Amino acid sequence: MLSATERNAILIEMRGFLESVQGIVAGLAEQNTRAIATSARTSGMASAQGVPQALKDKLPTEFKKLGMATHMAFDGLARESMEIGDRQVILKQLGALMGNCTTCHAGYRIDEEGWRRK
Ligand code: HEC
């Protein structure tokens, strides 16, 4: 249960994740390691700064761990892309990273305070 503002903040972050994945896949197809790194970094740890403490306090620990691991995995993918840039390795990292998306989506829903889903 989150306020409308808090829920929106998380959904915005999520759409950023999806944009990064899109940019990474497009970059892989074009063999453009710089584009891959730029897209990945957009969802890295730096993007997780500025989450209000009140929101952090409401989120379950496991949820936060999975979220942080995902931000770190984007940074790792950006590094790999700039340092070695092996497509096979990047694809493997992307597959593992997206395991976090599906794991979390399988386990969590956000409802807005004040109403319930049927
Ligand atoms: C730590 C948990 C967690 C992780 C990791 C996570 N998500 Fe989500 N995501 C959620 C939750 C919770 C929702 C809201 C689901 C609901 O209540 O309907 C959501 C919703 C979304 C949405 C819908 C946004 C909207 O505007 O409705 C997209 C797109 C999305 N996630 C993409 C991703 C992608 C891509 C990844 C991985 C790179 C990812 N998410 C990783 C928890 C997570």
Q: How far apart are CA 110 and CA 118, in angstroms?
A: 14
How far is 70 from 64, CA to CA, in rounded Å? 10
Reading the chain (118 residues) residue by residue, the pLDDT tens digits are 999 999 999 999 999 999 999 999 999 999 999 999 999 999 999 999 989 999 999 999 999 999 999 999 999 999 999 999 999 999 999 999 999 999 999 999 999 987 666 5
Beta bridge partners of 2: 112
Task: Tell me the C-alpha to C-alpha distance, in Å, between residue 33 and each of 19, 24, 77, 96, 111.
Answer: 16, 9, 10, 19, 38
Q: Count other C-beta atoms under 10 Å from residue 73's C-beta.
A: 20
Domain-wise residue ranges, the chain: 4-107
Indicate yes or no: pTM above 0.85: yes
Top mutation candidate among 104, 110, 115, 116 for ligand 1, by most atoms within 8 Å of CB = 104
Q: Which CATH class is domain 4-107?
A: mainly alpha
**Ligand 1 center–CA 27 separation, angstroms:** 22
Q: What's at 75, amino acid-wise? A: D
